[in-house]
Structure 1
């Protein structure tokens, strides 16, 4: 049976009843594992603060809208009140201060806001903010190799984040497209590293299941110190659920029985692993029949994203639109967004979405180049072919390449594998950025 649809009045009454029954103003956390879930409130009220205010409760300072000047003044006030430089954790814990979220939205990061407030240099751990930038590709490979030889296993994501002497997992993503690609460059087999037998893998999965007292997710496995990465399980057994079967771990993935919270939890795991909002293609590529589970419970992925408070701006290939940080240029995918940011950050002169017919006189289509770059009196026409593997898309990409070759267009092509195996400096080596 499909879940109940709540009206705004229903949700207001639920908040009021919670207050009467529990003698306290509810937090978003109080509804994390209930029905209606927190995301349902966000869909109707945009924020938890708005939900409380609509229910007659006083607005707090946590998520109230502040100007840039007000946010800077609050950082200075925090410093003088507590005699310490504000941290994200500190802001979150102080009732009369906003969280780090508005700083991220207004300044791009808490660090940028602290610099503007003149407080960043006072932080004892300021060297940790940019620690990743100090690690070159060679450093990342050497330190990873040393870690594996010393421990006979791959470091977990949390270990990479917490060990200040190691690059973070995001550094490996930015330089190599992911930790597995770095392992491959070192000559390791990411799936069989540590020489785990099938029996050993299953026993570790059982141990994790007993330790956390729930069915392990990919995120649980990746952050566990004694299990290899979840990809080892999916590659070795074809699916994590086959491994569950072998380990005799009970689970229920019936799309008609799985509850909202489990789906949301799985979606958040995927979002955290991707470091972006999953597209419908990401959902469909999951081993579990994720897309049908979402459609059964929500009707469509679009409705689900509304419940999750995500923007509904997707192109025909189900990729979310993004806007570059500086020029606010429209980008048709996350990959296109980060490439555009790279060009903007390095002050490269370029235009976006130039029509083919403006370059090729005989062209009558509505096709556009992703970027047209002018550098040292030369013009480069750049296309990112990010949806390879789709018949319709591949056919159009091939036609673009043929038309450019026929008309002597200086075309630069970028594919997903390039983003995984190369840095942006390498991809755009002809620009001599570094």
Structure 2
């Protein structure tokens, strides 16, 4: 697989926006686009930043999905998971991105509450990990790969969930920089 350039990614957002008649959401990109949402996060840091780079308002795709559609899909996934849904589980089985819920409802817990689902339990393993341990693991994986790991590479090969890094450091690129590594561009 060839590495995508920022220009190719921007062109794909613009192509899909022309096709849809509005800037695409991450779900629409996942469903109809050539590149994955993770590729955009790796290159731009966030979907909003990718939209801005393509010449759109960073919140342009927000609102194309109703709260009811989001809650219905969350309930569908919860039914398959015996009532409890983590962000990672939702990202694996849901139609939309868990990030869409946190942007729309304020937090994952607030989204679960809006759907009448049990709040996400504290993850002892993730909450007991120090920032230093997270950064050491990021550096270890970078040494193993011979380059700065991507979000997807951490998710696939790291000792901790990549989502833990984005929660703790507010973005993948912030975690990478805190580890003394260069973000992927």
Match of 2:155 in 1: none
Task: Give the TM-score, by structure 1 length.
Answer: 0.28
CA contact under 8 A between 2:51 and 2:58: conserved in structure 1? yes
Task: Give the TM-score, by structure 2 length.
Answer: 0.56
Which structure: greater helix fraction? 2
Residue pairs, 1:62-101, within 5 angstroms? none
Match of 1:166 among 34, 44, 47: 34
The gaps in structure 1 that reach 5 residues or longer are 1-127, 256-261, 268-290, 295-300, 303-312, 340-418, 424-434
Greater RCO (Cα-Cα under 8 Å, separation 6 or more) = 2
Matched residue count: 149
CA contact under 8 A between 1:148 and 1:155: conserved in structure 2? no
**CA offset digits 1:192-225 (Å, max 9, x no partner):** 5352233332222222222444422222333446
Match of 1:249 in 2: 117
Q: CA RMSD for the aligned pairs?
A: 4.1
Match of 2:136 among 306, 314, 320: 320
Identify if the C-alpha distance between structure 1 residues 213 and 156 changes in structure 2 by more than 3 Å, giving closer, same or farther.
farther
Residue pairs, 1:293-372, within 5 angstroms? 294=128, 301=129, 314=132, 319-320=135-136, 322=139, 325=143, 334-335=176-177, 337-339=180-182
Which structure: greater strand fraction? 1
Match of 1:181 among 35, 39, 49: 49
The gaps in structure 2 that reach 5 residues or longer are 147-174
Match of 1:217 in 2: 86
Residue 180 of structure 1, CA deviation: 3.6
Larger radius of gyration: 1
Match of 2:6 in 1: 137
**CA offset digits 1:320-372 (Å, max 9, x no partner):** 3837749x9xxxx7425433xxxxxxxxxxxxxxxxxxxxxxxxxxxxxxxxx
